[in-house]
A = this chain, B = another copy of it.
Amino acid sequence: MIFQRIESEGLAHYSYMIGDRQEAIVIDPRRDCDPYIDIAEKEGFRITNILETHRNEDYLIGSIELASRTGAEIWHAEPELGYRYGKTVEDGREWKAGRLKIKAIHTPGHTSGHMSYLLHDSKGNPWVLFSGDTLFAGDVGRTDLAGKERIPEMTGLLYDSIFSKIIPLGDHVVVCPAHGSGSVCAASIADRVWTSIGMERLYNPKLRHTQREDFIKNNGQELEVPPYFRKMEELNLFPPLLSNLPVPTPLSADKFMEQSSRGTVLDSRLELDFGAAHVPGSLSIWMGGIPSFAGWFIDYDRPVFLVGETEKTAEVVRMLARMGYDRIGGSLSGGMLAWHMAGEESASNGMEPVQSLCGRIDGGEDFFILDVRSEDELRKEGRIPTALNIHITQLPGNLDKIPRDRPVHIFCGSGLRSTIAASLLQRAGWKDITVILGGMAGWKSQKCPVEK
């Protein structure tokens, strides 16, 4: 028997492959679909069906990709969207894979056509619920993507799906959601990598509100919508076939200088490297942050040029491809070392450990503190005295709130998002910018002052 979770790191997206007696089913495949095929080949399984739980907003679905290489049938939830390929799942439909049975359960809320899938074991007992974006470990799916005005309606549907359809399945049923901790598809998924309906019934804070009205009031939140969600929704109706991941052309420093002006320069190095020296005008997103932040700051209309370690380039390309950024203009061959050896000019930004800021915060010195953490973090961890809070994702629309004539110190949880902010400000013309290394974590270690 096959029972595999295939994770897209960074996106915290979980897809699943189950199978028995040489027949396999894949749920919500990712676009770089080699893992499913490799498992099938190694174990001698045929992938017969691809089941989608819902139309995704945070990544390009790999159904077409996988079907084109295996001949599997694609099953879409949400037929109303007008897919141009695949078949439509109806509530209650069943599929077989050897002795296993899997059954569709309509669980609207996150979207109106969302399907969950209940896997029965080889004895026919209900065993695992693939809950898509309905129920996560420690959280529930967001209900604001159909528009602000429909939040109460959608949250009510979600309540019904969870309390009338999922919880009655029993505490013992294993739950396999479409996302884990770190996803943008819910506010705060827990890090229980395996969970059960009972675990959620008992410990999921969102399910404490067992009355419908109460649930709607407390869980009908509006969350941030990264601009690329709209692009994903559009592309997911018929994702372009990838076949192989793009291979970025390595460019010498002078060629990179020349060509990258027509696109976005993405620097995937860590905060220290970027702060020390970077290609002028480049955008900083450290590698691990690309799935969360690329969609906020990178245009689909212009090619992306990469700065970072050669051995990590392929992984950056993979992450971008999952979000539909297929136009890679090239990469800086030899990295910043080669850039400097070619005599090219670089930019830098200030960096200071927390100690330095901590000691000066009350000193009457004239500088400005920008804190790019989220509301949620501010609530949990407290605020830095005198700082202006703008969440990193909202920075581009709020630049006018930041003074241009005073030194700007940027603060976040660790220094990583501060460096994104530093690059955004530099691109917009700011000069005197300093990233606070260690961020809130360091701040607390040093017992620096915090306002609740």
Contacts and interface: CB of A to CB of B under 8 A. Distances in A.
Copies in the complex: 4
Given A22-B252, A190-B121, A310-B42, A354 B333 contact: no
Interface in A255-310: 270-273, 275-277, 310
Nearest to A191: B1
Main secondary structure of the interface of A (DSSP, over half): mixed
B445 A341 contact: yes
A172 B193 contact: no
A423 to B, nearest CB: 15
Interface centre among A202, A353, A414, by most chain B C-beta atoms within 10 angstroms, is: A353
Contact of A40 (B170, B247, B337): B247
Interface stretch (A43-51, A153-161, A212-220, A401-409): A43-51
Nearest to A5: B194
A226 interface: no
Given A277-B351, A343-B446, A351-B276, A310 B44 contact: yes
Contacts of A70: 247, 249
A250 B47 CA distance: 9
Interface string A38-67: 001111111000000000000000000000
Interface string A313-328: 1100000000000000
Interface in A154-201: 170-174, 181, 190-199, 201
A311 to B, nearest CB: 7
A113 interface: no
Interface in A336-391: 336-337, 339-346, 348, 351, 353-355
A44 B250 contact: yes
B41 A247 contact: yes
A183 to B, nearest CB: 15
Interface of A: 1, 3, 22, 37, 40-46, 69-71, 121-123, 125, 127-128, 170-174, 181, 190-199, 201-203, 243-244, 247, 249-252, 270-273, 275-277, 310-311, 313-314, 331, 333-334, 336-337, 339-346, 348, 351, 353-355, 414-416, 437-439, 441-446
14 contacts: A69-B247, A70-B247, A121-B191, A121-B192, A122-B191, A172-B197, A172-B202, A174-B174, A196-B198, A243-B243, A337-B415, A340-B442, A342-B441, A348-B351
